[in-house]
Structure 1
């Protein structure tokens, strides 16, 4: 009797306890970030390459501890809630998880993105999920939530460029790696990119032009109406390059900057003409008398501030100072945080002002070492490499091309490096559907030859980062474009660039 009574009391006690979630997994038992991506990919039938590449493109795999981007996007996968992107709301509905959890829990955030991607894929494919990696391009474009056809295409292009190139990063002591996966995306409705530029042209010769919404800036004529341009103001986007461009195109944003610069290669897009007043400083008098430059990234993550970005930005700032007579000093080239009354902290403590100003004043860092296929005594190729001029994305006057063959007949670039050390290596090619999808770049480093495969069917007309390598000082053949590839299409040799770290 006593035994039955004790059992009954135990049951009653259990019934009166409140229900609660299982105890949290101990920190040492938490799955690695790589494993979280793999589990989400398997659960929702989304290629892990797509998940990893989107996460890297959006946040460099950093969750920012629940803090939103400029576009009100959260977490590694940038689940957003804004006028053109409701992926956060969709993820909450699909998973039955509160939005607040999705903004702060890394695993939930990645699962939420995978669920949204699968939903988009099914809507686009009559209830089915694409089986081929190439067929996720239009899904990725739609996932971006960007406001224009062109920016959606640029977003998907960037994601697939990452998949082709591969990237890795150490997060909390663990390496996260997206291995290079050669793939030529099926662009679907994005096969013929639309030009959003209208009739305007950029003021800065090295920029491309994409117009901000006229609702986001004030039309003016500052070069002749007495409102002198006295400042260059440096910003950090707190979001992605393409997302920022799209946001400035959205009339509800009520914000803009004259220029936006991409982290990976320093590409410059102008969105407001210099004569007009962009709304970027949070102080009307400074808006009237300044040019604003946005830099892709987040203030708390120094990985976004690449040498390519510093150099491209400094070159633009130097050009602006020369054109408008702005002194090249820290009283006139300022951060957003220095604007009177500013509530923003960008570009933040990770921005290297000393290095940046040395580049603006050309007093340090050295010049980019660019070798074109037409550079005298710097390029060597056999007669099998024909000269091409028709592709408008070429660097300089022409480029070389050859059919792929399993023979040793590489095109070599000779580069004179002033000092030993670490260099970022970039390649420029014109892209096209008849070009090779697995072009090998052979790089002679102090650690031996290393080969990087790229698809020259996309990412044309810009500097593409091949990687960071160590080299000895001196003049030597540093990098070759090889014809020895299993890929199909013409192999292109155009230009390469070395940037000292």
Structure 2
């Protein structure tokens, strides 16, 4: 009754942080608990789950709400099921009402974050006890210990000890020695076959939920490795010399650019190593740490088994089983990933025809952006941008910083809170009367007209009027455009056709406008006129 009374006076909310603030105010579930669960489940991204493992629930929204709980959450929150799936505000509120109902039944002290641990365990949906314990201790309360941020709010790091039995750890095993060994019974012999492929998967859920399901004998599935959301831990479940059960397809060269057609009909499980990744096919980006750690694991597999590092032998699950799978999804940065595998193996060079590796997304490396490159002064030298179209990403790992890069001050922070961003995330800063722009620098070899476009995530907490300005290396203005970032999200928006002279130039995004909003610096694309 208390919960329903709180919900009856629920205000309308907008913006990533406000959804969590409102849910706490209306249900009594601490915002820190909600944020930590969202961080673990989806990286605070609005996802639409897909089946990766038969018999496992799909998830929806920033809270990763399981499909089997949607009806109950709908009754508790008053939102219909489809709204809970699609609206972040409704999704957070629905999850909070579930947690609050469980807390009411358990009669816990709701102000004590430690006391929420059994509710967190239940929320995980994990049946296996060790998986539940690790989800609570190492994932959700681990996120609390680090602090979680969304636009407009940053939770402080907490040291709350969960009121829940602690997990046990086991030793490392063969293959990659830095992994946590948790043996799965779901494997058999390769019958003398070698490893020729590495298959990239998305778990469609949390790390602990993923590995514990794969280690469960009743699931009938497995994988060799599972990488957690930030790459700080990898689980190994099956020895590489054994056959894990991670893909329900036989090789068909028509799905792999007509390569190696002589092995058509061979079970892919027999000739591959599978790497699962905590996350979702529908997410728009992957953490830099996850990508880097996965690349190290993949490098080790290729070295131990002589697998070529190219887009025909490191492939996505959905590429070889396209009739019912599409993971790892369009957000997986294939070009960068293959390059990072090469780098981990001590080689360099481009990754070749990366577009053939499953559902290819943007080519940049994942993770938050960083300021790098030269200062952008007129005396700088560097590789001149050619006449080709190019994108200056918010993530300098995806930029050729000798030719183009982004530069922001410490007042900007990286975020993936709102969906629809380009590549791996974006920079965000509050609007205020201050000269502190995000600057997209680039070097061109000759005077050239460019069609200049910008990408951002839209929302009601974005500025209705914010200005992009084009400057040359002598700080002479070459063009400007004022845009409304409350609309036009998830797409390229033309700013104008501006002519830049030879040398280092920049497109500057100012946050000097009416206060109370958040300016988004995501990506700028320049295409010769």
TM-score past 0.5 threshold: yes
1:194 is aligned to 168
Matched, 1:274 2:246: no
Q: Among residues 258, 278, 286, which one is paired with 1:296 in the alignment? A: 278
Distance 1:145 1:66, change over 3 A: closer
Alignment partner of 1:361: what SS? helix
Alignment partner of 2:296: what SS? helix
Q: Which ranges in structure 2 are unaligned for 5 or more consecutive residues? A: 1-10, 251-266, 350-370, 376-394, 398-406, 413-426, 429-437, 439-529
1:287 is aligned to 269
Q: Partners of 1:308 and 1:30 in 2: how far apart?
A: 32
Matched, 1:164 2:131: no
Deviations 1:250-302 (A, max 9, x none): 44433321111112134211112223322222214111110011122223334
The normalised TM-score by structure 1 is 0.58
1:388 is aligned to none
**Does structure 2 conserve the Cα–Cα contact (< 8 Å) formed by 1:134 and 1:184?**
no
* Residue pairs, 1:144-183, within 5 angstroms: 144-156=124-136, 157-169=138-150, 175=151, 177-180=153-156, 182-183=157-158
Question: Displacement, 1:230?
Answer: 1.1
* Residue pairs, 1:484-499, within 5 angstroms: none
Distance 1:114 1:228, change over 3 A: same
Q: Partners of 2:127 and 2:111 in 1: how far apart?
A: 28
Give the RMSD, CA atoms, in angstroms.
3.6
Q: Partners of 1:167 and 1:140 in 2: how far apart?
A: 16
Deviations 1:286-334 (A, max 9, x none): 111100111222233343x222222211211121111112222222221
1:219 is aligned to 188
2:115 is aligned to 135
**Does structure 2 conserve the Cα–Cα contact (< 8 Å) formed by 1:328 and 1:360?**
yes
1:440 is aligned to none
Q: Partners of 1:335 and 1:176 in 2: how far apart?
A: 36
Q: Among residues 228, 244, 259, which one is paired with 2:225 in the alignment? A: 259
**Does structure 1 conserve the Cα–Cα contact (< 8 Å) formed by 2:172 and 2:178?**
no
1:314 is aligned to 295
**Does structure 1 conserve the Cα–Cα contact (< 8 Å) formed by 2:20 and 2:35?**
yes
The normalised TM-score by structure 2 is 0.55
Distance 1:325 1:119, change over 3 A: same
Alignment partner of 1:346: what SS? coil
Question: Displacement, 1:231?
Answer: 0.8
Q: Partners of 2:410 and 2:149 in 1: how far apart?
A: 21
Q: Partners of 2:71 and 2:153 in 1: how far apart?
A: 29
2:338 is aligned to 357
Matched, 1:229 2:200: no
Question: Displacement, 1:344?
Answer: 1.9
1:456 is aligned to none
2:209 is aligned to 243
Alignment partner of 2:209: what SS? helix
Alignment partner of 1:43: what SS? helix
1:185 is aligned to 160
1:51 is aligned to 34
2:527 is aligned to none
Q: Partners of 2:110 and 2:208 in 1: how far apart?
A: 25
Question: Displacement, 1:115?
Answer: 1.8
Q: Partners of 1:35 and 1:448 in 2: how far apart?
A: 24
1:61 is aligned to 44
Question: Displacement, 1:423?
Answer: 8.9
Alignment partner of 1:334: what SS? strand
Q: Partners of 1:164 and 1:92 in 2: how far apart?
A: 31
1:18 is aligned to none
Q: Partners of 1:68 and 1:344 in 2: how far apart?
A: 8
* Residue pairs, 1:80-99, within 5 angstroms: 80-81=66-67, 86-95=68-77, 98-99=80-81
* Residue pairs, 1:363-374, within 5 angstroms: 363-364=347-348
Alignment length (residue pairs): 334
Question: Displacement, 1:447?
Answer: 6.3
**Does structure 1 conserve the Cα–Cα contact (< 8 Å) formed by 2:214 and 2:221?**
yes
Question: Displacement, 1:335?
Answer: 1.6
Rg larger for = 1
Q: Among residues 49, 70, 91, which one is paired with 1:109 in the alignment? A: 91
**Does structure 1 conserve the Cα–Cα contact (< 8 Å) formed by 2:103 and 2:110?**
yes
Q: Which ranges in structure 1 are unaligned for 5 or more consecutive residues? A: 1-24, 170-174, 366-416, 425-444, 451-466, 471-501
Q: Partners of 2:117 and 2:374 in 1: how far apart?
A: 41
Matched, 1:209 2:181: yes
Distance 1:133 1:30, change over 3 A: closer
Alignment partner of 1:257: what SS? coil
2:416 is aligned to none
1:432 is aligned to none
Q: Partners of 2:113 and 2:230 in 1: how far apart?
A: 23
Distance 1:354 1:54, change over 3 A: same
**Does structure 2 conserve the Cα–Cα contact (< 8 Å) formed by 1:87 and 1:113?**
no
